Chains A and B, each alone.
Chain A
Amino acid sequence: MTARVGVITFPGSLDDADAARAVARAGAEPVPLWHGDRDLRGLAAVILPGGFSYGDYLRCGAIARFAPVMGELVPAARAGLPVLGICNGFQILCEAHLLPGALTRNAGLRFIDRVVRVRIEDTRTPWTADYAQDQEISVVLKSGEGAYVADPATLARLAAAGQVVARYAGANPNGSVGDIAGVRNEAGNVVGLMPHPEHAIDALTGPGTDGLGFFTSVLRAMVDQ
């Protein structure tokens, strides 16, 4: 049986099909989850995709956080289920307090869609194990509220515990503190990432295949279990 990875669709999710495609490309079976679901159906890992859940109204991710499926996901994530939030998914995970900090308006105050270089600084998570420590990858960043912020104490804690999963390697595109592009929870199973690895799985439609590692990593983590 192939490993089954859930991809949640919230009202306004946009990159759900792309995340599912990336899961399939990595060799796992993508399983759609609906925001109204109250059952994670024994899935081995779950992705919260990019998009504008609930129109990004109020704050990005603020309303999606209360979707029924989140009632299942939050305890499962606390119990160790591998969860990846990409872009809007990252915002939802922060709003749900599964990840520290918050994402705010880009420093330039404009939405940007741009290929960026990102350095993978923590390869111990189920989502990044297939990368080399400090490997630089090219991925698409596309967001209007991608600037990561946290209070100084939290930042210090993240740095000390190695919870910064990825940093922007080139010029800081959005004003994120410490060039942070992605973080994880203490246990390491929940990862949030602002750029989109699912848009970097094929040189035909993206900057290359550097993003595939997130999806092969989790597949391996599931098989290894």
Chain B
Amino acid sequence: MSGADTVGRAAATPGQPQPYAELGLTSEEYARIGGVLGRRPTDAELAIYSVMWSEHCSYKSSRVHLRQFAESAPPSAALLAGIGQNAGVVDIGQGYAVTFKVESHNHPSYVEPFQGAATGIGGIVRDILAMGARPVAVMDSLRFGPADAPDTRRVLPGVVAGISFYGNCLGLPNIGGELAFDPCYRGNPLVNALCVGVMRHEDLKLAAARGTGNQVILFGSRTGPDGIGGASVLASATFGGSDAAKRPSVQVGDPFMEKLLIECCLDLYAGGLVTGIQDLGAAGVACATTELAAGGGSGMRVDLDVVPLRDPALGPAEILMSESQERMMAVVEPGDVDRFMDVCARWGVLATVIGEVTGTGRLEMTWRGEQVVDIPPASAADEGPVYQRPIQRPAGQDALLADDPAALPRPEGGPELRAALLSLLASPGLADTAWVTEQYDRHVRGNTVLAMGQDAGVIRIDEQTGLGIALATDGNGRFGLLDPYAGAQLALAEAYRNVAATGAVPLAVTNGLNFGSPEDPGVMWQFSEAVRGLADGCAALGVPVTGGNVSFYNQTDETPIHPTPVVGVLGVHADVTRRVPVGLRTEGAPIVLLGRTAAEFGGSAWAQVAHGHCGGRPPQVDLGAEQALAAVLTAAAADGLLEAAHDLSEGGLAIALAECCLDQGLGCQVALQGDLFTQLFSESAARAVVAVRPGSERAFAALAARHGVPVQELGVAGGDSLVVQGSFDIPVDELAAAHTGTLPGIFG
């Protein structure tokens, strides 16, 4: 056969078999397309529907749950754009707005770690750029199988190098993230990237094509055969070709082009040359055209022949589905097209008018002079299938909860407690991450106030006023496994606490939900519980979810990963010079523990490292206590009462104190009451340790009392050892050796 499958031909050949199943559509979904169109789809249309109705683009399994984020969102005057946009936008005052979002690139990073992770950064940066913002920083949240597993040794260095390569080349400081290891991620690493951007309020851009006669411009890289596994099924089924079937699903990133694209877009925005804009991510031109047309409630006509190609053999379905990186699509008034092209030329960015906005309400495309697409765009972009998947609490859940870590043997006496601390500190999940984080440029742009190793990344936004933002991401799959509702709230609480520990006021939330297969009712239960927990938690803390991402199908055979919601919290610093770091720095500064400690070891780092155990109940969630703690931390920072602050999380007080000592190499002496093991290693939430500025002790105590936050005076900073009186002491050098040796020992 030759030529394309045209609209006319589709109407004339209703019975022609099409490979919808290979494209991931069910027969019901395929029938539904026929219903929408009143005929069978053309191959190009089938390509559009198959990608737009994929889980990734349509959220068909998650949508009914994600609604809760909007429905139970706390009233927030700060939200300028919310869920449904490329990324949420938050007002941070002084006329500035911030947009931020997490996105996962788990599967591509397993197939080809370097390019998979690199293009993950590229994709999330374009999402932020599409909102009208200048991207100003990235973060990465990484999870792998056991650190010494062969699989991890292959995947981790590649992932880190890919993030480093792409992010550094864009000139975006990496200001933090996570690194965790657990057997459940073997074969299913989680690579979640976050980008944050800044704009003035009036710069906000939306993905909408409006204004009949406005021109549709595709700019950036050429379109090549990248990531079109699905479309090549189509091509080979239609044309009987074998070449196409071999097309790669790996996309190669070109960060240099993306850097040009960023600067080019910002110049276009500054010139007022863009009325609507959309990044090209998954599903490329198909997604950008349908979403722009649907977003504007307009029609659009596109000429696929003029799309600049890297491979002239691409057919219409392949052009539509190509995931070639570093492309954007803009809607431009006809009178602005010349200036638009001039700006692109200045940055060396290829730009092509590929179509125009029409008043027909249809998305129409031609190829080689024939019509190959004629659909109502909303049917692909917004009206995809929505499923209420079956939900079933897993049978083993009660047994898991009943497997209480209280039964595990515990270290007793100074020497055993000392050894337990050192072994936790050296465990891959708690060890120094410098092997990873030194590969990231944290200094570029000159506005990084706090970065890796601190509780949150802090970026200065305005050099004159000191206005800035803080960002932290957290997630704990073990807590998620034991209780996904509580696990999501604990992730939220930890990120919230981290942001507050630097002195920032928490303002808004993004999330990346990493789960197994939605077709598994047990996974779906985990998912629904996690979403409910996060929505309830956000309502209680008064911070809205502004956007996020769902990644399903993270599993090997029948075994899903632990439910791993990664939560990012954004906070605001009125004056970044008031930020509070982690490290102790003054001899004699009093050290105080805030919050209540109970014996809570379910899913703890200690149970995992010492016994490979994950059972029992995760720590109690008390969001009121989290709020009070954050209020104390932010007020104390604003009043300059603190020298250092560090939240307590994995590994409890023991790890927190060790990290406070390691940051600047200054030790401390503390005296603990009650059961030393519980005091040191419990992971009770809503706690932080602080070093009070000498002279501010009374003011600080009064502040804590006012907010009802329990205070326990532990001791003072100073000396060259971490001393737990009456039990053990560890020279800071020995802590450092344990902490820093692990990852270089494994990864070279």
Query: B-contacting residues of A (Cβ < 8 Å)?
Result: 11-12, 14-15, 17-18, 21, 50-52, 54-57, 110-114, 140, 142, 144, 196, 198-199, 204-206
Q: Is B443 touching A114 in the complex (CB atoms < 8 A)?
A: no
Q: Distance in Å from the Cβ of A66 to the closest Cβ of chain B? A: 14
Query: Mask for B339-378, Cβ within 8 A of A = 1, else 0?
Result: 0000000011000000000000000000000000000000
A114-B449 contact given A18-B444, A54-B256, A204-B460, CB 8 Å threshold: no
Query: Mask for B566-577, Cβ within 8 A of A = 1, else 0?
Result: 000000000011
Q: Could you say which residues of chain B place their CB within 8 Å of the CB of A50?
A: 444
Residue from the set A50, A57, A111, A205 with the largest chain B CB neighbour count within 10 Å:
A205
Query: Mask for B441-475, Cβ within 8 A of A = 1, else 0?
Result: 11111111100000000001000000000000000
Cα–Cα distance between A111 and B174 once the two chains are bound (Å): 13
Residue of A nearest to B439 (CB): A111
Q: Is B441 touching A205 in the complex (CB atoms < 8 A)?
A: no
Cα–Cα distance between A15 and B254 once the two chains are bound (Å): 19
Asked if B687 is at the interface of the complex by the 8 Å CB criterion, the answer is no
Q: Is B256 touching A55 in the complex (CB atoms < 8 A)?
A: yes
Q: Distance in Å from the Cβ of B747 to the closest Cβ of chain A? A: 10
Asked if B564 is at the interface of the complex by the 8 Å CB criterion, the answer is no
Query: Mask for B525-537, Cβ within 8 A of A = 1, else 0?
Result: 0000000000000
Q: Is A196 touching B161 in the complex (CB atoms < 8 A)?
A: no
Cα–Cα distance between A144 and B437 once the two chains are bound (Å): 14
B interface secondary structure, majority: mixed
Q: Distance in Å from the Cβ of B704 to the closest Cβ of chain A? A: 28
Q: Distance in Å from the Cβ of B53 to the closest Cβ of chain A? A: 36
The 5 closest A-B pairs by CB, nearest first: A55-B256, A14-B171, A18-B446, A52-B169, A199-B443
Cα–Cα distance between A51 and B448 once the two chains are bound (Å): 17
Q: Is B164 touching A55 in the complex (CB atoms < 8 A)?
A: no
A140-B348 contact given A57-B256, A111-B168, A205-B448, CB 8 Å threshold: no
Cα–Cα distance between A50 and B445 once the two chains are bound (Å): 11
Q: Distance in Å from the Cβ of B740 to the closest Cβ of chain A? A: 13
In the assembled complex, 30 residue pairs joining A and B whose CB atoms fall closer than 8 Å, in A order, are: A11-B347, A12-B169, A12-B259, A14-B170, A15-B171, A17-B446, A18-B444, A52-B168, A52-B255, A52-B256, A52-B259, A55-B169, A55-B256, A55-B257, A56-B169, A110-B161, A111-B438, A111-B440, A113-B438, A113-B439, A113-B441, A113-B442, A142-B443, A144-B168, A199-B446, A204-B460, A205-B443, A205-B448, A205-B460, A206-B446
A198-B446 contact given A54-B256, A111-B164, CB 8 Å threshold: yes
Query: A-contacting residues of B (Cβ < 8 Å)?
Result: 161, 164-165, 168-171, 254-257, 259-260, 347-348, 437-449, 460, 576-577
Q: Distance in Å from the Cβ of B136 to the closest Cβ of chain A? A: 12
Q: Is A15 touching B444 in the complex (CB atoms < 8 A)?
A: yes
Q: Is B445 touching A17 in the complex (CB atoms < 8 A)?
A: yes
Q: Is A142 touching B449 in the complex (CB atoms < 8 A)?
A: no
Q: Could you say which residues of chain A place their CB within 8 Å of the CB of B164?
A: 110-111
Q: Distance in Å from the Cβ of B352 to the closest Cβ of chain A? A: 20
Q: Distance in Å from the Cβ of B7 to the closest Cβ of chain A? A: 42
Cα–Cα distance between A87 and B47 once the two chains are bound (Å): 46
Q: Could you say which residues of chain B place their CB within 8 Å of the CB of A144?
A: 168
A204-B169 contact given A18-B444, A55-B255, A110-B439, CB 8 Å threshold: no
Contacts A56-B169, A113-B438 known; 17 new A-B pairs at CB < 8 A:
A14-B171, A18-B446, A52-B255, A52-B256, A55-B259, A57-B256, A111-B164, A111-B439, A111-B440, A113-B439, A142-B168, A198-B446, A199-B443, A204-B576, A205-B447, A205-B448, A205-B449
Q: Distance in Å from the Cβ of B580 to the closest Cβ of chain A? A: 13
Cα–Cα distance between A15 and B441 once the two chains are bound (Å): 11
Q: Could you say which residues of chain A place their CB within 8 Å of the CB of B165?
A: 111
Cα–Cα distance between A111 and B348 once the two chains are bound (Å): 27
Q: Could you say which residues of chain B place their CB within 8 Å of the CB of A55?
A: 169, 254-257, 259
Q: Could you say which residues of chain B place their CB within 8 Å of the CB of A111?
A: 164-165, 168, 438-441
Q: Is A18 touching B440 in the complex (CB atoms < 8 A)?
A: no
Q: Is A206 touching B443 in the complex (CB atoms < 8 A)?
A: yes
Q: Could you say which residues of chain B place their CB within 8 Å of the CB of A205?
A: 443, 446-449, 460
Cα–Cα distance between A1 and B460 once the two chains are bound (Å): 31
Residue of A nearest to B576 (CB): A204
Cα–Cα distance between A216 and B161 once the two chains are bound (Å): 36
Q: Could you say which residues of chain A place their CB within 8 Å of the CB of B442?
A: 113
Q: Is B348 touching A11 in the complex (CB atoms < 8 A)?
A: yes
Residue of B nearest to A110 (CB): B439
Q: Distance in Å from the Cβ of A91 to the closest Cβ of chain B? A: 14
Q: Distance in Å from the Cβ of B263 to the closest Cβ of chain A? A: 8
Cα–Cα distance between A198 and B443 once the two chains are bound (Å): 10
Q: Could you say which residues of chain B place their CB within 8 Å of the CB of A54?
A: 256
Q: Could you say which residues of chain B place their CB within 8 Å of the CB of A142?
A: 168, 441, 443-444
Cα–Cα distance between A56 and B168 once the two chains are bound (Å): 11
Residue of A nearest to B260 (CB): A11
Residue of A nearest to B259 (CB): A12
Cα–Cα distance between A70 and B169 once the two chains are bound (Å): 22
Cα–Cα distance between A205 and B577 once the two chains are bound (Å): 10
Residue of B nearest to A18 (CB): B446
Q: Could you say which residues of chain A place their CB within 8 Å of the CB of B576?
A: 204
Q: Distance in Å from the Cβ of A93 to the closest Cβ of chain B? A: 20
Q: Could you say which residues of chain A place their CB within 8 Å of the CB of B260?
A: 11-12
Q: Distance in Å from the Cβ of A29 to the closest Cβ of chain B? A: 17
Q: Could you say which residues of chain A place their CB within 8 Å of the CB of B445?
A: 14, 17-18
Q: Could you say which residues of chain A place their CB within 8 Å of the CB of B439?
A: 110-113
Q: Could you say which residues of chain B place their CB within 8 Å of the CB of A51?
A: 171
Q: Is B440 touching A113 in the complex (CB atoms < 8 A)?
A: yes
Cα–Cα distance between A11 and B256 once the two chains are bound (Å): 8
Cα–Cα distance between A93 and B256 once the two chains are bound (Å): 20
Cα–Cα distance between A112 and B437 once the two chains are bound (Å): 9
Cα–Cα distance between A57 and B252 once the two chains are bound (Å): 14
Residue of B nearest to A202 (CB): B446
Residue of B nearest to A14 (CB): B171
Q: Distance in Å from the Cβ of B494 to the closest Cβ of chain A? A: 26
Cα–Cα distance between A94 and B161 once the two chains are bound (Å): 26
Q: Could you say which residues of chain B place their CB within 8 Å of the CB of A114?
A: 438
Q: Could you say which residues of chain B place their CB within 8 Å of the CB of A204?
A: 449, 460, 576-577
Cα–Cα distance between A51 and B437 once the two chains are bound (Å): 18
Cα–Cα distance between A55 and B118 once the two chains are bound (Å): 14
Cα–Cα distance between A15 and B506 once the two chains are bound (Å): 30
Residue from the set B171, B260, B348 with the largest chain A CB neighbour count within 10 Å:
B171
Q: Could you say which residues of chain A place their CB within 8 Å of the CB of B440?
A: 111, 113
Residue of B nearest to A142 (CB): B441
Cα–Cα distance between A182 and B164 once the two chains are bound (Å): 24
Cα–Cα distance between A113 and B444 once the two chains are bound (Å): 10
Q: Is B443 touching A12 in the complex (CB atoms < 8 A)?
A: no
